[in-house]
Amino acid sequence: MRYSAPRGTQDILPRESPRWQYVEGKFRDICRLFGYNELRTPTFEETDLFTRSVGEHTDIVSKEMYTFQDRGERSMTLRAEGTAPIVRAYVQHKLHGEQPVNKFYYITGVFRYERPQAGRYREHHQVGIEAFGSQDPAMDAEVIALGSQFLATLGVGGCELKINSVGCPECAPQYKDALRQDVKPYLNELCETCQVRYDTNPLRMLDCKAPGCKEFTVNIPSIVDHLCQDCGDHLKAVLRYLDDLGISYILDPRLVRGLDYYTKTAFEFQSADLGAQSTVIGGGRYDGLVTQMGGPPTPAVGFGCGIERMLLIMEAQGIEPPINVHPSVFVITLGEATRELGIKLLADLRKAGIAAETDYSGKSMKSQMKAADREQAKFVVIIGEDELNQGLVKVRNMGTKEENDVPICEAVEKIAEALS
């Protein structure tokens, strides 16, 4: 085999694509219900857009981006993440000027140079939403509720919602200092990456899985107790709304997100059916990002959801989307002379909005019947020499095995009738 899809990428074959369409369709439906409109952005952006928003010291930026130089010697990067391009478009087109609150959704490929494994690819696909212009905790709750309803609509069960607050530029630095203070005596005993994190991103020490590190951070004061008044109130309000909406959650003070732009609310929906990659939906609030990109102060909140992971969960839970649009009618022709009439009838059926198929490989009657059966045709139209001479076609109901001779000019009409 000379060529195959690049490592970590995949072809979505016709037998799989109905599942994708189903998931994406449900997502579009829900977005419409919640008032989110689609915003499509380019597949690649200036590299700087991602490094500055996601954060230089994050894994995504430091080792996972697909970056290349274009012929104008500009550094470009394939979409490494869903939010930054949306924010860029929001600021570039001054959408904040159109209305106070803007709500968008996207369905798109995301590219990260990672070691592939179950639920993790170099090109994966996300559906996601972003809501701009409101700092109301009810907006956080709406975003989470949309995710929750998306899962429910797909019939996906058993997902846990974990939620936390990562604070704001007021209180987060203070907590980071307190964290450093607490860890400092054990610094030499932490794992290598945590020693780097100590300086660059101390919050990440909280969710380190290395057994040694866990030990030292287990007694560390919770960020929830270090939030400023505003952030604390915000978190409480979000949780209260979730209670009101009947959305159960686990408050997890150790939940940390790997992108720098998050403020206040951070959340994930996790599933036990995913193995090591347990997060299917991840998101949070990013009140400072629009300003950072040169827009007016605009609070915002959103999430991203991995389509491949959603499909994995659905498969594990035995959820089969309703699929299969089989031709309703299969046209069988017997012999050269009947072919022209058959092709014409096939076209007429299709023009009348009736799904129709025929055989293009010159098979026998029996084989054509088998093909019709395999395609689950409801009716078969048989055109042989005899019929042709009499100006008739034979219409066979595949369910009842009834056969009727019908004048050619009435065939489409009769079939349409029978199908309705």
Minimum Å gap between C-beta 94 and RNA is 26
Helices 83-92, 47-54: crossing angle, 10 deg rounding:
110
Per-residue mark of binding to RNA, 327-356 (x: CB under 7 A): -------x----------------------
In order of 172, 203, 229, the CA distances from 232 in angstroms are: 12, 18, 5
**Which 8-state DSSP code applies to residue 73?**
-
In angstroms, rounded to a whole number, what is the distance separating the alpha carbons of residues 408 and 344? 11
In angstroms, rounded to a whole number, what is the distance separating the alpha carbons of residues 253 and 127? 26
Minimum Å gap between C-beta 61 and RNA is 10
Query: Is residue 44 at the binding interface for RNA, with CB under 7 A as the rule?
Result: no
Burial of 327 from C-beta contacts in 10 A (0-12 / 13-18 / 19+):
buried
Minimum Å gap between C-beta 5 and RNA is 7
Restricted to residues 93-122, the positions that interact with RNA (CB under 7 A) are 110, 112, 114-121
* Of the residues 136, 258, 317, 321, which one makes contact with RNA according to CB under 7 A: 258
Is 245 in contact with 141 (CB distance < 8 Å)? yes
In angstroms, rounded to a whole number, what is the distance separating the alpha carbons of residues 53 and 50? 5
* Of the residues 399, 409, 417, 420, which one makes contact with RNA according to CB under 7 A: 399
* Of the residues 46, 177, 244, 403, which one makes contact with RNA according to CB under 7 A: 403
Region from 26-34, 68-76, 285-293, 392-400 binding RNA, contact rule CB under 7 A: 392-400
The residue among 71 and 401 lying less far from RNA, judged by its C-beta, is 401
Region from 97-105, 256-264, 288-296, 408-416 binding RNA, contact rule CB under 7 A: 256-264
H helix intervals, 124-260: 137-154, 172-183, 192-200, 211-217, 229-245
In angstroms, rounded to a whole number, what is the distance separating the alpha carbons of residues 191 and 194? 5
Restricted to residues 203-222, the positions that interact with RNA (CB under 7 A) are 204, 207-210
118, HSE (Cβ side, Cα atoms, 13 Å): 13
Restricted to residues 66-85, the positions that interact with RNA (CB under 7 A) are 81
Query: Is residue 365 at the binding interface for RNA, with CB under 7 A as the rule?
Result: yes
Q: Report DSSP letters for 99-147, one per residue.
A: -S-EEEEEEEEEE-----BTTB-SEEEEEEEEEES---HHHHHHHHHHH
The residue among 233 and 386 lying less far from RNA, judged by its C-beta, is 386
Region from 34-42, 159-167, 285-293, 302-310 binding RNA, contact rule CB under 7 A: 302-310
Per-residue mark of binding to RNA, 169-208 (x: CB under 7 A): ------------------------x----------x--xx
Minimum Å gap between C-beta 259 and RNA is 6
In angstroms, rounded to a whole number, what is the distance separating the alpha carbons of residues 328 and 34? 36
Number of residues that bind RNA (CB under 7 A): 71
Minimum Å gap between C-beta 273 and RNA is 11
Minimum Å gap between C-beta 364 and RNA is 4
Q: 128: closest CA among 284, 277, 257?
A: 284
Query: Is residue 281 at the binding interface for RNA, with CB under 7 A as the rule?
Result: yes
The residue among 86 and 256 lying less far from RNA, judged by its C-beta, is 256
b/e map of 52-65 (b: 16 or more CB within 10 Å)?
bbbbeebebbeebb
Q: Determine the distance from the C-alpha atom of residue 52 to the mean position of all C-alpha atoms in its chain, rounded to a whole number.
A: 24
